[in-house]
Amino acid sequence: MVVSTGVILEGPNGILIELALCFAFKANNNQAEYEALFAGILLAREMGAQSLLAKSDSLLVTGQVTGEYQAKDPQMAAYLKYVQILKKSFAMFEFVHVPREQNARVDLLAKLASSGKGGRQRTIIQETLRTPRTFTVDNLVEVH
């Protein structure tokens, strides 16, 4: 089974950047949610965003990032630590849960990524991650 996810970055004046992510490594749904969060954070930072409101339909990931839940699994704890570092890139960072039914557009991007039919859509970025992100002091992106 191919795991995929989508990211929608909405900027001022209604500008949308859509990213369809496909994972070429075995990823569970929680890993995919964190990878999507990283992709969105890094893209927003690259675009020069000063504040970020991130949304996810994963109760677990949202709860871990907001401090409501603990990250007991070592991989989830590493992901959470990286989010804590990356969110310092923004003057304001908020992460909220949205019901899955309010996330239909992201679900469509995920289906696009897993279909293998991308490439013709000019406004959608498609990316395949070959391996999960690893977090060491050597490869962390400098946060300003």
pLDDT tens by residue, 95-107: 999 887 766 665 5
What integer pLDDT is reported at residue 76 of this predicted model?
A: 94
Pairing verdict, β 3-10 and 16-23: antiparallel
Q: Tell me, what DSSP letter sits at residue 13? A: G
| pLDDT confidence tier of residue 87, bands split at 50, 70 and 90 | very high
What integer pLDDT is reported at residue 119 of this predicted model?
A: 46
In the predicted model, what is the mean pLDDT of residues 74-94?
A: 94
Tokens for 88, please give them: 């310092």
What integer pLDDT is reported at residue 81 of this predicted model?
A: 95
Q: Tell me, what DSSP letter sits at residue 137? A: T
Pairing verdict, β 51-56 and 92-97: parallel
> From the CB of residue 133, how many other CB atoms can be counted at a distance below 10 Å?
14
What integer pLDDT is reported at residue 6 of this predicted model?
A: 79
Q: Residues 89, 45: contact at Cβ < 8 Å?
A: yes
In the predicted model, what is the mean pLDDT of residues 31-37?
A: 91
| pLDDT confidence tier of residue 90, bands split at 50, 70 and 90 | very high
Pairing verdict, β 51-56 and 16-23: unpaired
Say which CATH class 3-129 falls into: alpha beta
